[in-house]
Structure 1
Amino acid sequence: MEWYFRDISDDPSEKELTQQDQFNNDEVVLAEALVRETIQNSTDACVLPGGTVRVRFAIVEPSTAESREFFSSLLDGLAPHLTASGIAVPTAPQRFLVIEDFETTGLLGAIDRKDEGQFCGFWRRFGRSNKKGAAGGRWGLGKLVFSSSSTIKTLIGLTRRADDPNVCLMGQAILKNHTIGNTELDSVGFWCRPGTKTGLPTTEHSLCQHFASVAGLKRSGQTGLSLVIPYVLPDIEEQYLIQATLKNYYFPILTSRLIVEVNGTSINADTFDQVSADMGSEAIAPSLLSFVRQLQSLRSLSPMVTLPESWQSATITGDLLGEEQATRLRDQYKAGEMLFIRAPISISQKTRKPQGSETYIDLFLRPSSPGERSQTLVVRGSITVPTEGKKAHLPDCHAALVADHAAISQFLGDAENPAHTQWNERAEKLRTNWNGGHAVLRRIRAALHEIHAVVADRIERDDPLALVDFFSIPKEKPKERAQKGTTDRHNDLPPPSPKPFRIQRRVGGFTLLPNPKVAPESFPLKIRVRCAYDVLNGNPFKRFSDDDFSFFRDRLKVEKHNADCWPTDPNQLDVEARSADFKVEVVGFDSHRDLVVEAQG
């Protein structure tokens, strides 16, 4: 195998894969992006639709002379390119990360030419995804997270495909356009079969077997993809991979569609509670855990109610459901039962003949217990869409919108942003691929709220003011006004608790720091930060527009110490401070505008 970088000396244009920078600001966020991209790709490639996929992560240090020699040999032909790209060449063997999936198809398609298969899409295509249907990732850029996780920007992959008896081995480095001697070379290089100018993988059995041995791969005869990230960044650690799995993929894990193993720790439907407790994680509250498990048991049954097709063009009301059916749902909801309602949907794809498709979403609602934090879950395929869940939040109710039928998953996937956290009615793919897509999406977003209005709003509640217009209530005598300078406040009240954090302003941003007076026992601590540019009149947060800035889109630099953070809205950042010496610094805002920052614990 040898390293090959294309000569672009005569290319009149200049192109760089600058999108890779989106993963370089924060290693903990990088670990989460790594988990999300891996599991999306793996669940997309499941052999059996709706079957269980197994994903393995392992952080390994070369322990044998053979293993150390192999990883050092990768640098033999790559070192000049690293140096020319301004990347330090490692001087000693370092850790590597192994990622494998099982019960998947592997990278299908041609290996020696461009086509629409996954092999070409993964190794040779950037910025345009070949994924269709219910596939989770569609942007053709998420895979850059793998090379971004390596100090030498390198990835090696071995795939056994369902349609090919041979195993394919190949590597890739994504650097910068660089010059060696008088030759200008492309940023993308391939570790490939010698003598090829198109970056072809090797299928030589002995070499593939040797690689599997030195990398400690578990794949034997199973189809799927094994990735090795050599010289993995030091802050990608086992605990972050586990936390990201618990936080992002609890739904497919709890519904037995996914099993994840991290350095021998198996996260599945049976072990989820224990692993979460061991990590001290609050990625999913116990009440939501119970709700998801009950939801899973209900899904094996028929829906209680299937909405009439007219709901797609009219508000869901008791009249639309029929008074008898609406009364039954209210009674069941009042009794604390979980409701399972199916909403049929007609969607029309512009490029498909016949154009119409019949699909559906499933809606689940259950009243929450007094004092219990209610949560709303939005799922598309195997992906949770967290910002949509927060927007759809219902008071005193656990709720879920599940869209895992292939057609609706494809539709909603075209509406998703690159981070797969929310939907956009004006998304280009939604506009290009679907007739009236914005109107369909608007009805989907409204479904949970309208059902909740029908079943919950007429539940009997104690209302002391209900008959105030019919009965006379004696007016209380006004209290005598206290003399000036006096107060009826008790002097023995305890002082208010100090906020456990403080905001320090700086040019173009802010720093979130701990309050030194707060005891270490107060941590870990969750903090929600909102930002907006100040305005002359009105509330700056209500007048915020993502044209101002966006944590999802703009290059806002986030640096942290002893804290995790992730964006949940264009102007909102959730922070989990792990200890009393945490620090989160965010810069990159317009320094010519006044930034308003609000934080709540």
Structure 2
Amino acid sequence: MANRPDPPCWRFRAMAPSEPNQNPIQGEFFSAHLPERFIRESVQNSLDARAGPKPVTVRFTISGSNGAVPGERADRYLTGLQPHFEAVMRAESANAERDSDRRRELQGREALLKGPLPFLVVEDFGTKGLLGDITANDIQARGNDFWGFFRSIGISPKDEDAGGSWGLGKWVFPDASKLNAFLGVTLRAGEQRFLLMGQTMLKLHELGGRKYPPVGFFAAGSDEDDKDWLPMPVESAGLPSDGGGSGEPDAACFVHAALSDFGLRPDGDAGTSVVIPHPMDELTDPTNLARAVIRQYFHPIIAGDLVVEIASPDEPGRRIDAATIVDEAHRTGDGAEDDPEQRAAALIRVIELDKWGQRQEDGLVEADARRSKPAIAPDQVESLRARYREGRRLAFRVWSKVGGKANSFKVFLEGDDSLAGGHDYYVRGHLQIPQMDYLTRHHARALIVVDNTSDLGHLLRDAEGPAHEKWRADAPRLKEKGWPAAAERVREVQNAAARILEALAEKPADVRRDALSDLFPGDTGGRRGPGPGRPRPPPVPPENRFSLRIDRVPGGFRLKPAGNADPSGRTFAVRMAYDVARGTTKTAFSRFDAGFRAGYPDFSLRNGQLHMQSEDCEADVRSENELHLRVRGPDFSLGVTGFDERDLVVKVLPLVGEIAASPEAEARAP
């Protein structure tokens, strides 16, 4: 067995020749800017570890250069990391030989291993710490938070009521560091010892003729060989012998030295602290952190469940709580934000709406999310419409059913004629779900709040991806968990505010049934035939006829040529709708149009919900369910996927001025 140094160090397990090569891809699941995803994931972990009724406090501390750990003490936290980090940087630099800026950046990172160590600390208070058996490394260690934080990737030990569920959110911690590493210190409820361990997420690399995986650990010294080694945390014992002094502490006092060097947990309260060495530049601006906190977590802050503190040497400390959140939103401003819903003025308006809504428990109006029921009871519509017309806010308890059991969620509304389009915000438990936009046709602001502990909250959590940014009606985990009618439940919540606003509208939108008669000369749900005074189109010569084919594919359809005629240069209108159990193609398109006019279409080609793959053709989206297809080559192909499990009706017709297809292409696909 190899002799290991007694002090803690960074260590990588050499790979066996038979092990597959794999680089980390967790970052591909997170699209938000770094401050947004860093705040989102770190605060979510803290809220999930809440210890009792008192609010969770999350404290961010930026050291700056003056508060950095001096170089003579910084080495103790980097021992063993340097050769592996440099090997990765050299390989990355070689791959970036044509990108001089990227190469200089990578080479500059190597210099970070020498000299002072600036840091960013995230600490939570009012939490339980990382509970669980520190020696466990099972395939699934349910309830073991220590295992989930340090020893699992893509597997979560959290229960159904938690905000997170994928086991990938901790990726933000190495991603936040220029060294791709972090240290974690936890004091668990009911214990007197601190536990310290670290993790780095680099890339597959070679060193000294051996191959190493991306993941390495900062852990206690061990005499075990690589193949038997399980990284174990460094445990505190007794009082520090030399604290944060210049000498090297012995193993028993190492944790106390770290607490002193990084200023961790001064009051000795249970919770977890994460140290980000050499944080990315955008995370050293306290305004960036404050802005992200307000955008992502205004709801639990207003509810009194969360307090966030930000300390920086460059400004007075910030405290964001229910009393100060509006002032802090003014203070942070808009930044470079293009999304009008995320600008300070819009956030302040939804904060005020949320504050009002959380006081309305006894004044909620009953509503129904199911399409088979009216959104609002008919005898209440007129009085509610009058209140809405007067500019008064409205609060609803909206009912749905999950597995036959009644579930409800809340919708808070206010009209705002200054809005170019509707603004809607969705919250599940404490977590905002930001990438949804279903309130486009009304000058109104809506906040939809779902109880995370309800069956509906559990279903919606399974409709989210790893970044928890969107509810997808076709999410694979909905089927894996066996949720009944899951797609319909997701759409009900997404469209609830739009249905209520449509019921409150002064007059439903007029239906112009022949509006598309020129574009679709066949039966499109309008009047049959060409109509009075309209000449029928001339017959198409057989030699100019060509046909198209619609194939079923998982989650959608694919459009391809059929027959011998070449459709190159032609342009078609492609229209789609979900099929109906009773009725014709006309009924299916009429139902989609009705949903669109009400502000809650079944799907949309415009909001990223559907995905298109094209070859030798161009697709121009013209509406939620219509695109124009320009064919460039005889072997063209257009695939559209992302639909839910319902059958789909697809209609393809030539645009005005084109030679007609024969026959008109129409198909149903699941």
TM-score above 0.5, yes or no: yes
SS at match of 2:351: helix
Shift of 1:314: 1.2
Task: Check if 1:363 corresponds to 2:411.
Answer: yes
Q: Distance in 2 between matches of 1:413 and 1:454?
A: 29
Corresponding letter in the other structure for 2:268: G
Aligned length: 466
Q: Distance in 2 between matches of 1:430 and 1:122?
A: 25
Task: Check if 1:18 corresponds to 2:73.
Answer: no
Does the CA-based 8 Å contact 1:360-1:405 persist in structure 2? Answer: no
Counterpart selection for 1:296 from 355, 358, 365: 355
SS at match of 2:467: coil
Who is 1:414 aligned against?
462
Who is 1:574 aligned against?
none
Does the CA-based 8 Å contact 2:438-2:498 persist in structure 1? Answer: no
Task: Check if 1:316 corresponds to 2:319.
Answer: no
Counterpart selection for 1:59 from 62, 65, 68: 62
Counterpart selection for 1:221 from 268, 274, 285: 268
Shift of 1:379: 1.3
Residues 13, 53 of structure 1: alpha-carbon distance in 2 compared, 3 angstrom cutoff:
same
Shift of 1:163: 5.0
Who is 1:575 aligned against?
none
SS at match of 1:363: strand
Structure 1, 7-16 or 73-82: larger mean CA deviation? 7-16
- 5+ residue gaps, structure 1: 349-355, 460-527, 551-601
Corresponding letter in the other structure for 1:247: R
Does the CA-based 8 Å contact 2:433-2:469 persist in structure 1? Answer: yes
Residues 64, 538 of structure 1: alpha-carbon distance in 2 compared, 3 angstrom cutoff:
closer
Corresponding letter in the other structure for 2:330: A
Q: Distance in 1 between matches of 2:132 and 2:66?
A: 35
Task: Check if 1:167 corresponds to 2:194.
Answer: yes
Who is 1:510 aligned against?
none
Shift of 1:307: 3.4
SS at match of 1:307: strand
Deviation per CA, 1:99-122, whole angstroms, max 9, x where unpaired? 111112211211111222111111
Who is 2:126 aligned against?
103
Residues 245, 112 of structure 1: alpha-carbon distance in 2 compared, 3 angstrom cutoff:
same
Corresponding letter in the other structure for 1:199: P
Does the CA-based 8 Å contact 1:303-1:342 persist in structure 2? Answer: no
Shift of 1:294: 4.2
Counterpart selection for 2:36 from 24, 32, 36: 32
Counterpart selection for 2:500 from 435, 451, 458: 451
Shift of 1:169: 0.8
Task: Check if 1:231 corresponds to 2:278.
Answer: yes
Who is 1:281 aligned against?
334
- 5+ residue gaps, structure 2: 1-7, 91-109, 238-252, 312-316, 336-341, 509-605, 629-636, 643-670
Counterpart selection for 2:426 from 342, 365, 378: 378
Corresponding letter in the other structure for 1:194: G
SS at match of 1:316: coil
Corresponding letter in the other structure for 1:381: G
Q: Distance in 2 between matches of 1:22 and 1:437?
A: 23
Q: Distance in 1 between matches of 2:346 and 2:444?
A: 11
Q: Distance in 1 between matches of 2:19 and 2:433?
A: 42
Who is 2:10 aligned against?
3
Task: Check if 1:155 corresponds to 2:186.
Answer: no
Q: CA RMSD in A?
A: 3.4
Does the CA-based 8 Å contact 2:612-2:638 persist in structure 1? Answer: no
Who is 2:289 aligned against?
241
Shift of 1:541: 6.5
Structure 1, 334-343 or 82-91: larger mean CA deviation? 82-91
Who is 2:491 aligned against?
442
SS at match of 1:7: coil
Shift of 1:455: 2.0
Shift of 1:214: 0.5
Who is 1:430 aligned against?
478
SS at match of 2:33: helix
Who is 1:80 aligned against?
83
Counterpart selection for 1:336 from 369, 374, 391: 391
Corresponding letter in the other structure for 1:340: A
Query: Superposition pairs for residues 404-553 of structure 1, below 5 Å?
Result: 404-407=451-454, 408-433=456-481, 434-458=483-507, 539-540=620-621, 543=627
Q: Which of the pair has more CA radius of gyration?
A: 2
Q: Distance in 2 between matches of 1:267 and 1:546?
A: 50
Shift of 1:366: 2.0
Q: TM-score, normalised by structure 2?
A: 0.63
Deviation per CA, 1:528-565, whole angstroms, max 9, x where unpaired? 99999999576346549998999xxxxxxxxxxxxxxx
Q: Distance in 1 between matches of 2:305 and 2:467?
A: 22
